[in-house]
Structure 1
Amino acid sequence: MLAVSLDNLASLHVTATRSFSDAVAATLRDGILTGRLPAGAQLKQDHLARHFGTSRAPVREALQVLTGEGLLVVNRHRGIIVAPTDPDDLRELTELRTMLEAHALRLSIPCLATDDIDHAAALLAAADEAQGNPIEQSELHWRFHRVLMHRAARPRVLAQIESLHVAVSRYLLPAWTAAGLSYGWVASHRELLTLARRGQGEAAAELNADQVEEARARVDAWLGKQEIT
């Protein structure tokens, strides 16, 4: 059994618009995506409820949400555990992202307003300046992509893309934290912004697909090194 400490998890942040279950889910999600809750770690409802100072009900709801996102799985012998990393899973996520994000970009980019482009440019600049803070950088990076896709007028497609982003982040963030940005990351994203500014949805979709595949290859190589060590 993989022992796991909850001491380094962030404290719950409950607001008028965020319930205890939402706060627990957000805290555990952050722990998984940053590697503080590693693959295979067992999560027990009673342990989590004591740690967070709440009842089992919001913990149970939070675990159900994260299981639905693919971050947790139910193991027959060990109960709920953090989902194992799997190169085949990463490849499938990459294939789905490539198809859906390309579709959204083709639909969205011709409809982007000047304000959208300016917003995307500001987010990209902020992501470039946030080096050394991979969590903030990752969030800004995703917000940049979200702006480029948000005019697609396909709410179901965009919802699926958001779900895929959560699932793939558990692979990307630890590798990003350990190895940093890939060579040419800034230049390729500036090129994506230029294509968006020109309204070239098809070219942007092709470049985005290249970026997604390049990220998969880097993470795949990084996972291989973890297995060796």
Structure 2
Amino acid sequence: MTQAIVVERDGAVLTLRLNRPEKKNALTRDMYSRLAHALEQADADASVHAVVLCASAQCFTSGNDIADFLQDPPVDLSSPVFCFMRSLMACRKPVVAAVAATAVGIGTTLLLHCDLVYVTADARLRMPFVNLGLSPEFGSSLLLVQRLGQARAAELLLLGEGFSGAQAAAWGLANAALEDGEAVWRAALVAAHRLAALAPAAVQDTKRLMKAPGREQLQRVIEEESWLFIQRLSSPEAMAALSGFINKGSPKTL
């Protein structure tokens, strides 16, 4: 059976690769649990100095697997998706993301919590939460306003407008927009090994200091977003939109 999360080790660099190509790397509860566990292990392992989060050259992730999500929706903050969020936020080791092609929903919002992000210039990123009767998650309602301003954040979150990897880099949401998936993977790996070669404690202290301002506010916002997301999932608006995706045979992701 193919592993949906592939964990690989190269010296002091740990790579977590989404590996569900037949479903465009749509994330399931099990995948969230595996990612959370791997991040927690990496954080506790002194021999791991950096983490790379990646997928394939064809797709980063199309978001949540709706069928899986609705089969056992999150009912409280102990649900796997929220455990993954906390693990990524709490990881003291630098996390480098390599994004090619498509990043939908949490595939985009998780990038706001990575330390370095490399994308293909033609990547398509989108957060269609409101379009599906849902609300933003993973701190995006706070972080996007802070980074992009109210007007642009409203386009992305209220209208659910997509944007390219080139735009992400121009707006400061990514470090670089490169020509293809191979270039993105190389850039992420080079950056991770550069980080791994530095003094681990100094890297971790610097990451902590950079993220310290506003951290308590961000945690409060994520908690409020999470509870609202849980409530919205059972709303008539969301149920109609999500059921329509499944019944019409549309891509079953968000």
TM-score by length of 2: 0.26
Greater Rg by CA: 1
Q: Counting strand residues as a fraction of each chain, which structure ranks higher? A: 2
Q: Counting helix residues as a fraction of each chain, which structure ranks higher? A: 1
